[in-house]
Each structure stands twice: as structure tokens, then as C-alpha cells.
A and B are shown apart, each in its own frame.
Chain A
């Protein structure tokens, strides 16, 4: 009897130790995940914050040799490019995800689509740039904001499609049956019930795709090209923050290096702001106790 009690005590001590160890490892992993982001952000603030002033947000780049100037055109240009990309990538992506999860489940075509989306996700962004260059830029004989937006938009599709599919598959079947059982047509049930129930996850997927292409430089080199002047036309080359950062970062002037750091800081802040804004807007109207 006594030996048994002793043994139980030892086992319980070991269990407690293992528990602490596992908790410790999880905390360590969390720190490792968050640390790089914080480090990058801190470094950007250290390097870039001093160059941020009103001119940065209101002026276009100064000619080489002159100091000062800003990235107003690049900020607006990134907005235009991301707008075009979202208009193209999000509807197609969500539509594809709905097909995969709700209509094509288990069919050969759906498997092919899913596979293609995964491959497209793995295509290097520079290849996407070259592809759009030969499909749009080369045909039109000029670089344009539209081609840049298309390149980014296509890059958004696979992420949006796959997260939409995953999120729709997580909606319990009982909810689909509830809607069908009320005599709701399938298309209506998919849009108003299933997609709506999955919407927090779908929005997260869209934001992930958005944030990812917001920082893309390579596909824009061949498409949007960049622009030192004001332009918001879809038919002309357009400036973009990542492009401007790239140009300034490899230039030989210290002044431009500082602006590149500031640009990187602004890019990250704008992405965080855009994502937070969408989340805030999307979270309003969710009721007490809704899951």
C-alpha cells in the first residue's frame, strides 16, 4: 500500500514537471513568433521615424541632388494598385472558394482547381511580373497601373480561394440543412447563411492576401514600373511604396536611404491600419454571444 502511494506521488510530480515544461515551451515559441516582428518594427522606427514629416506625405520625390521631398505619389499609387488588385482578386478568390467548398466538393474538377491554386500560390512573384508583362504590357506597348494591379490581384486569388474554402468547410452541415429545410434556395443559402457564418475567417484570408501583395516589389518592376511624378491614371506607369523603397535603397545618396527607411515604416503602418480598419468594420454588428 505505502509503496503505491509513494509511486503515485512520484508520478504526479513528474506530470507536474512535464506540464510546466510544455507550458514553458509554448511561451518560448510564442516569443519566437512575435520577436522578429517587434524587432523589425523597432528597427524601422529607429531608422525611419526621424525622416517622417509632413513633406513625406504631401510631396513627390525631389530630383536627385536636392534633399527633402516625399512619397505622396507612391502612397497613393500603392492605394490604386491595391484597389485594382482587391477588386480583381477578392471576388474571384471568394467565388473559387465557394465553388470548391459548396458545389464541387469531391469532384475531379474541384481537385484540379485546388491543385492549380496551390501551385499558383507557389509561383515566384517575379514570374508573375514577367507573365503579366508579356500578356498586358507587351501587348499595350506601355507600362501601366492596371497591369500592376492585375499582377497583384492574380497573386491574391489562391490565398483568398483556399482560406475561403477552408472557412466554409468549417461551417457545420447542420446550418446548411437548417437553411435548406426552410425552403431557401441553395444559392441564397450559400451567400446569406454559409458565407456569412464563415465571414470572419474569409475576411482574415482576404487581409492576409492583401498584406502579402502590399509589400510586393518584383511583379511591379515589370508592370507598374514606378513613377517619379503624380499619376493616378490606370493607363500610365504609377508609383508604389515598395518600388520607391527599392529605388531609394539602392541609390548612393544617404538622404534617399533615410527616405527608404521612412517609406518602409509607412508601408508597414499603412498595412496594419488597413487590416485593423477592415477588422473593426467587419466586427461591428456581430451580436452578443455569436460564435
Chain B
């Protein structure tokens, strides 16, 4: 089951560049929360702070606190532990090119030393079913490389790979921006199903997408969070002038 996320006074830097400033945000459990905003506004940096991927860049720095469930991720645990609880799907599908479809999906468990084959078979099947990919790949799970799938299939495989380690939160950084419309709608359907079991945070450039999949939406601008509210309110009656300008297409 998903857990809620409580972000308090989060600040992030790349070198001297203050990319996130005083972000405060409650993300509800078992819902999809969309983050929108123009390029470079900090929304990607924000989700990367939620699983401590931000700090993999040597010049990056973070202050503030992020609570996921009952755990303060910057105080109570190592990045490795957190990333097992907070899965991530990236903008471009990034399958492991040397691995079969099966091994790609099982990789998170296998690389952490999990080796019960019967259980792995089950987890791989369940994850691929959850990612709506099982029927398309079940016949060549171990024969075909993950990289030989189409872009949309690769992205769903990457979602299955993230689901296989059984996270509580799923971060998606523009998961459909590199995909065609058909694949995009499949990913959106998927988010719709997954959010009953996981807490989903999705960054998107596509406002219709945010409106379709998310209950809550946050609008980022220049490293600050301008407005956070129910998706319906953000898109029909935003309280901030800048949000209104953005969603009506006056800039961004």
C-alpha cells in the first residue's frame, strides 16, 4: 500500500544554482499527484529529491525534510534503502541493454541478492501484468533483450521493473513524453490502475495528462511551488494569477 509524503522547507541546489526554494507540500497516499510547470522550473529536481537521486550529482545539495510514511528520508535511512521504497520511472525508457525482459524486471531484486526462482517468476509475472505488458511479452521473456521492445513497451517494462521491488511510492518523471499517443494513453490507463495501490507523483509537461490522471496538482515556477490544490480547482479556478496564466497558455 502507498504512504503519504510530507515535504517541509525543502531547498535544493546544483552548484550555486538554487533550483528549489522552500517547498512545502503534502502528497496524499494512494492518489496520483501531478506536478506541472514550464521547463527548468524545478519539478524534476523535486521528484529526484523524493528518492535522493538528486544527490547522485556531486555538485548537488539539499536541505529540509521529506517524510515518507513514518520515515524522514534525509535523517533515518540510507539512499539505497529509500530507493527500494520509492520507485522511479524516468523520462526516457532506460532498460538494461544486456538483459532479457525477464532479467530487466527481476533486476532490482536479483541485484539485491534475492534468488528464490519460483518467487521471482511470480513477481515478474505479477509486475508485468500490473504494467499491462504481460500478454505482449510472455512468450519471449527470457529470449528477447529488453532493448528490443518498442519505446512504449520499454517504458511499461521499466514501470514493471520499478513495481517488482514493491515500492510504496512511484515517482514518474515525464514518463510519456518520449512516447507516441497510443503508448501514452496506455501509460495513463496504467497510472489510473496503479494509484489504487501506490502513491504516485507524476511530473508532466502535458496539462491534459495531469487533468486526466491526477487528483492533486502542484504548479511550479522558477524553483518555487506557486499553488497546490485539487486538480479540478487548479484547472478551473486557480487562486494564483501565475497559475492561471500558465494553464491558459499565456506563457511556458
Interface residues of A (CB under 8 A from B): 106, 172, 174-175, 177-185, 188-189, 192-193, 196-197, 199, 286-291
When the two chains form their complex, are residues A184 and B97 in contact, meaning their CB atoms are under 8 A apart? Answer: no
The contact of B112 among A172, A177, A184, A199, by CB within 8 Å, is A184
CA distance A289 to B98 in the complex (A): 9
When the two chains form their complex, are residues B88 and A181 in contact, meaning their CB atoms are under 8 A apart? Answer: yes
Which of B76-84, B184-192, B199-207, B244-252 lines the interface with chain A?
Answer: B76-84
**Nearest Cβ in chain A — how far from B117, in angstroms?**
18
Report chain B residues within 8 Å CB of A188.
111-112
**Nearest Cβ in chain A — how far from B8, in angstroms?**
24
Contact flag A178-B147 (CB < 8 Å), given A188-B111, A192-B111: no
When the two chains form their complex, are residues A183 and B165 in contact, meaning their CB atoms are under 8 A apart? Answer: yes
When the two chains form their complex, are residues A177 and B98 in contact, meaning their CB atoms are under 8 A apart? Answer: no
**Nearest Cβ in chain A — how far from B200, in angstroms?**
15
When the two chains form their complex, are residues A197 and B96 in contact, meaning their CB atoms are under 8 A apart? Answer: yes
**B45: Cβ under 8 A from any A Cβ:** no
- Highest count of chain B CB atoms <10 Å: which of A106, A182, A197, A289: A182
When the two chains form their complex, are residues A174 and B90 in contact, meaning their CB atoms are under 8 A apart? Answer: yes
When the two chains form their complex, are residues B90 and A184 in contact, meaning their CB atoms are under 8 A apart? Answer: no
Report chain A residues within 8 Å CB of B96.
175, 178-179, 193, 197
CA distance A182 to B79 in the complex (A): 10
Report chain B residues within 8 Å CB of A193.
96, 107, 111
When the two chains form their complex, are residues B56 and A290 in contact, meaning their CB atoms are under 8 A apart? Answer: no
**Nearest Cβ in chain B — how far from A237, in angstroms?**
43
Contact flag A181-B51 (CB < 8 Å), given A174-B92, A175-B94: yes
CA distance A256 to B83 in the complex (A): 68
- Highest count of chain A CB atoms <10 Å: which of B87, B96, B98, B111: B98
**Nearest Cβ in chain A — how far from B108, in angstroms?**
4
Interface flags, B141-182, vs A, CB<8A=1, else 0: 001110110000000001001100100000000000000000
Report chain A residues within 8 Å CB of B148.
287-290
Closest to B140 in A: A288
When the two chains form their complex, are residues B111 and A177 in contact, meaning their CB atoms are under 8 A apart? Answer: no
**Nearest Cβ in chain A — how far from B59, in angstroms?**
10
